[in-house]
A and B are shown apart, each in its own frame.
Chain A
């Protein structure tokens, strides 16, 4: 078994540069498009996304259900069905182009260089395999170590993610663990081979707030310790507010605002970002405070609306918004981009019928 796996790995072996002194961004995504052919038409789930992630940093990707954030994470990873998918754009990881890689090459990347933490640990873990074996699988494949050594590493990993008495627990099955413990196991699996990039897709969405805080703290601690880059995908801006270095807000398959976290919160330009912030109930508000809900739903990605895709739900919509699509442009600081014709000024609504803001050209993000 291990021989056959070893053969698979040696075909077209990829040399990954030592990233400890890697100056370029770890991951560069350019103009990524992913569409699905369905019976009703083509769904443009990711529609021209560009971003980059430096080593050791965290990028938060925030948006509602159906904004394309999960498809974006899967497109970066290369975890997409083969049939009925149309993709274009480039995903460059440590200088290697991922979109053209053969399956055997992708297997060298998955787990070892780049790994994923899924939302639902009950379905992502194999219910009939002991958790220890689920961790040692990738260890033995990528690090080519023997069973005994792999088991010892698995115990250490479980201990490091805060699972008590890991020597016994490696023989347990997923159903014997609570939701929070299962997510810890998922993290242990994702981190087993010390990847350089971890994509966490809503890692805490099914969990209690108290467990959520523990899991996010754990992920952050492991990231610091191992100097990994993390892409944290979530619908809750509260989750990334104190944990991400940079945040990209997605709406209808596109990035509509992207900035370093503090800039995004202090100088929000895009009304959608502000609306997402305001929809979260705050503990400091008196009981019974009316929440600022965003009316309506995200648009149908088969027939997205003309002009700005947020226009049908935007409280400040004007005629121009319905007619032409706002490009991503830079704000006061060059690392802050947004797509809006009438952006908020210092968090306040734009002048109701003021002059159309001048557009200083489109900027590649």
Chain B
């Protein structure tokens, strides 16, 4: 690799390309994103016309049940999954127009962490090789610089580089493997980190360790994050804003504390009710969710949640509710959003 450096093909190690955060400093702008899959002769829309933005330094939580399209959205952000239509702008650049090397070069600045930490690491490689790979691919830095970087990054995620470097993934627990994949994701100094259910395969005790680690690293490296999960309590803990997704559509977007204080969409309320509180005296005031997600092959007419909504009315069948502002920074797609009464109980506005 030193020959690379001599030949001048090696680029320097990436460093913090921190620009002064402006007020409209959008890292990610998604507009009218649609992702379609073919299923035999039919087409399934996994993601149906969603738009959202992520500001610099912000964590956006994306929450919903299995099959709601949240993972497909995450994959479409890095263009692993091609968008059928719509745009994904990353630092102002439309990724849907990029391909080949230009796309791959841009992707070094946006990295992903996956749900199953063990299967996302190559079982035959040593930890130091796995973590160094993002730099090796782009010939960044000299061999010695890369080794230094691997060592310091492993230390940042709480893995001892001396004992762990020469071992292979199967020698580590799920939580440790997740730390290693986080180290790998941060090697090329990305500005955006997309976490797809990074803790749902872990025990609650390890989950807390990883969530704290992500918060520390976000601070240390000035990261912007998109955090995808099905557990609203986890999402709320890490996110500044939360987008709730149901059957390919966004149903509510707001600040995470605001979402907890006054959930406006009945689906958000139902997700809250399903979280198991570690308190035998706790009484949930929210209505729990019944039934299963309808098939995206044949989504319900009007509001897609109406088949499971306790407040559904005729209008919900006839007319699809658009995502609209009900308060500054609080958007909801519902004809009859929930309103908190002075007494504290929640009712649907009619």
Contacts and interface: CB of A to CB of B under 8 A. Distances in A.
B17 interface: no
Interface in B262-284: 270-282
A214 interface: yes
A211 interface: yes
A181 B282 CA distance: 28
Interface residues of A, number: 46
Contact of A211 (B65, B233, B275, B282): B65
A261 interface: yes
Interface stretch (A41-49, A281-289, A320-328): A281-289
B237 interface: yes
A180 B292 contact: yes
A63 B282 CA distance: 22
A297 B173 contact: yes
A292 B237 CA distance: 12
Contacts of A285: 237
Interface stretch (A16-24, A230-238, A354-362): A230-238
B237 A241 contact: no
Nearest to A181: B292
Interface residues of B, number: 47
Interface string B57-81: 0000000011100000000000000
B49 interface: no
B208 interface: yes
A3 B278 CA distance: 50
B204 A276 contact: yes
B138 interface: no
A65 B203 contact: yes
A241 B233 contact: no
Count chain B CB atoms within 10 A of each CB in A217, A238, A276 and give the residue with the most: A238
Given A280-B204, A297-B173, A213 B288 contact: yes
Nearest to B260: A283
B289 A280 contact: no
A294 B205 contact: yes
Contacts of B148: none
A283 B207 contact: no
A336 B74 CA distance: 47
A280 B211 CA distance: 11
Count chain A CB atoms within 10 A of each CB in B203, B215, B270, B281 and give the residue with the most: B203
A283 B208 contact: no
A178 interface: yes
Contact of A291 (B208, B232, B277, B290): B208
B256 interface: yes
Given A65-B203, A209-B230, A297-B173, A282 B208 contact: no
A103 B324 CA distance: 64
Contact of A236 (B232, B239, B270, B276): B276
B257 interface: yes
Contacts of B215: 288, 290
Given A208-B230, A209-B276, A283 B282 contact: no
Given A181-B292, A288-B215, A209 B205 contact: no
Given A208-B230, A265-B280, A293 B289 contact: no
Nearest to B230: A208
A261 B281 CA distance: 10
A279 interface: yes
B290 A214 contact: yes
Interface of A: 64-65, 178-181, 208-214, 216-217, 235-239, 241-242, 261-262, 265, 275-277, 279-295, 297
13 contacts: A65-B203, A210-B271, A213-B273, A213-B289, A216-B276, A238-B275, A241-B276, A241-B280, A279-B204, A283-B232, A285-B237, A286-B257, A287-B238
